[in-house]
Amino acid sequence: MEFLLVQALSGLASAASLFLVASGLSIIFGVTRIVNFAHGAFYMLGAYVAYVLTTRLAGPIGFWGAILAASVIVAALGALMEMVLLRRIYHAPELFQLLATFGVTLMVQDLVVVIWGPEDLLGPRAPGLAGAVSLFGRMVPTYDLFLMVLGPVVLGTLWLLFHQTRWGVLVRAATQDREMVAALGVNQKWLFTGVFALGVFLAALGGALQIPRTTVTHTMDLSVIVEVFVVVVIGGLGSVLGAFVAAIIVAELNAFGILILPQISLIMVFLVMAVVLVVRPWGLFGKAESAPRPAAGLTIRPWRPFSTAERVAVAVAVAAVATLPFFLGNYALTVGAEILIFVLFAASLHFIMTVGGLASFGHAAYFGLGAYGAAFMVKFLGAPMEAALLVGPALGLVGAVLFGWFCVRLSGVYFAMLTLAFAQIAWSIAFQWVDVTGGDNGLLGIWPSAWAAKPQGFFWLALAVAVIGVGLLRMLVFSPFGYGLRAVRDSTLRAEAIGLDRARLQWAAFVVAGTFAGIAGALYAFLKGSVFPDFMGIPTSVDGLVMVLLGGIETVSGAVVGAVLYKALAIWLMSQTDLSKLVLGAVIVVVVLAFPKGVVGFIEDMRHRWFGPKKTGAEAAALAKVEAAR
């Protein structure tokens, strides 16, 4: 009993730091509607800056002053990022803001290594709190007790700020209806900047307070951001009290999960998140959105199938790519096959995002399930590659059917977070079910058949699968099913009024997208000759999102261009420089600023402007109003 009590107290100490970071993210999203992927990077920067200051300033005043100073410095950096970057893209599709913050995260990851090196750093103990206190015969660190008290104090301070100050009232009003706040004459720019700075300050403070408890490392950002997203979603987006309660739940699950149910310890928090979202889609203390958010694929320029000339041009381009094995070496062909596989993966995600209007943060689950399905066929049934490629992706289909049934009952960021939860559940099972999946060691020896064993043969196989897959997805866009799906995306009420079943159509689209992602995953397993849990990890899902957004979510086939550009650039940079993340992140930020509709969306805008039908003055004015309203 004493041990369990100490374990519970340790969980409460962890909950305090988790609450600080999660409350900042919740506040930022509540007002700006930005899913700030860089929040973990600010948490990490807070720890690094605090380490530098605390090692130079002596005594209690120096230590605690350094903690606050580090948080203020990082908050200023966050405010600068909001003014320079995010303020320019508030009117862009909301997922582009996620893409921009992801680019910043990549840049920060390499910058901290350049400045502080790759080694873990050990900061000083907190003056006066370095010892331990005996409770029920067990020693509890004094610093943990301090953190347990700090959490409620910060919660009370935030409550007073939001309920007893004019600025706090405006923030709460903007959380409910920011358009009305703007209509009342409030300067949204500075309100957003202030909210963003406060959120970053809390994240940096959470990171700075971790120095006496753990080492400072350049992987801190990704290790915390997933748990923070879970806390924010369970508690309810925009709810500080919800973040506090959810942080305690998640921290205690982490503390006791490894003791009570070690086999599923990694799954427990995501299971709780999934259950909460299914039962109460807006979280424990959140509120349902007052109005539906714009769909991801909404566009004011109607899509159209390829013309005859465009079909000929595509056929010529495919034929030209098919000749590459006669000119390129083995390494280039292997890279080319990998790019083609990710073209199909990105196209499957693009389909559900643009046609279905559903942004999935966990699409890698079906990519990984397809890979494992093919690997199981080879390892356990001795099937050849051809049979594994036909049957293996069915595991991705099954996963999409199961997970999609729950996910399509939600919308917006709650849908995205539930897909993330299911993806993490699938990853956790693959990681911990060692007897079947090999765990972190993976499944090895997944080799292609003799005719596809050479890079030339596998390149042609990947090209054929990618072309057929992308072609089928494009055909679905312009099929009756695709038109019905787009109708549901653009106006659910009108679509249901004419007899379209939103949930059924979106579930079918989810299954289609998951199946094609599974096909790409099965092919990837044979390219690599192995399968690992990381195939369905968060970085793979984020890569898919980046490819789609770079191509353009208001296009039909933008993911093809986005996948080629992103994957080719990432692979080339890794071979050319140790700062590949820094350069790639900078490129992503520049692309977001220069092409807020994606590369293909920008090209289509230019083509329509130069070669499209001329508009009358009234038509141009009406179009400008529609663009402004969006």
Task: Concatenate the DSSP letters of all residues of 258-321 into one string.
Answer: HHH-GGGTTTHHHHHHHHHHHHSTT-SS----SSPPPPTT--SS---PPPHHHHHHHHHHHHHH
Nearest to 508 by CA among 482, 545, 541: 482
Amino acid identity for residue 174 in this structure: A
If one compares 572 and 287, the residue with the highest pLDDT of the two is 572
pLDDT at res. 626? 47
Question: Can you give the pTM of this predicted structure?
Answer: 0.86
Rounded Cα distance, 447 and 533, in Å: 18
The chain-wide mean pLDDT, for the chain, equals 85
Q: What is the pLDDT of residues 206-264, one digit of tens each?
A: 999 999 888 899 888 887 888 888 888 888 877 889 899 999 988 888 777 666 666 66
Once rounded to an integer, what is the mean pLDDT over residues 443-454?
A: 92
Average pLDDT over residues 591-596: 81
- Among 262-266, 391-395, 501-505, the range scoring the smallest mean pLDDT is 262-266
One-letter amino acid identity for 591?
V
Q: Tell me, what's the pLDDT at 467?
A: 95
Q: What are 488's two structure tokens? A: 């549901």
SS3 category, 135: strand
- Give residue 312's Cα distance to chain centre: 37
Tell which residue, 519, 67, 548, 17, has the closest CA to residue 254: 17
- 358's CB contacts (< 8 A; 6+ apart) are 296, 352, 407, 408, 411, 415, 506, 509, 510
Give 162's DSSP letter. Answer: H
**Cβ neighbour number for residue 428 with a 10 Å cutoff:** 20
The Cβ of residue 490 has, within 10 Å, a number of other Cβ atoms equal to 15
Question: Is-contact 186 210, C-beta < 8 A?
Answer: no
**Minimal CA–CA distance to 168: which of 193, 202, 191?**
191
Tell me the pLDDT tens digit for each residue of 400-423: 999 999 999 888 778 888 898 899
* Structural tokens at position 340: 């083609």
